[in-house]
Amino acid sequence: MKETKEVIELHEERVRKAKENMLPEGDVETLAARFKAISEPSRLAILLALRYGELCVEHITEAVGGNQSAVSHQLKTLKDGRIIKSRRDGKNVYYSVSDEHVVKMIDLALEHLGCAE
């Protein structure tokens, strides 16, 4: 089927807009790495627990039902990805989400979890 002039122009306009708004390659890679970090189930569970405020490793482990070694490993990955941050208080280290945008993304995903397509 032959495309009409209007359809061709519409597609060209969409391509132009897509190109104009495309992120630089490095930014795309950074964004993809953050999504990858968030998408791993045990790390996502940690982020779900941290949505309500900072927690120490012991309390995160209790909340997600994991073991402390595995949780510590996942916390390091999230911290290296700058998704969470930590602060020391005496001998305890407390973790929290470093950017509220992450919490908003999780909340939006949860909102759509029950939606029918």
C-alpha to C-alpha distance for 25 and 91, rounded to whole angstroms: 41
C-alpha to C-alpha distance for 69 and 113, rounded to whole angstroms: 30
For residue range 56-95, list pLDDT tens digits in order. 999 999 999 989 999 999 999 999 989 999 999 999 999 9
Burial label for 78, CB within 10 Å (0-12, 13-18, 19+), is buried
C-alpha to C-alpha distance for 66 and 60, rounded to whole angstroms: 9
Identify the top-confidence range among 36-40, 42-46, 105-109: 42-46
The predicted model scores a pTM of 0.79
pLDDT at 100: 87
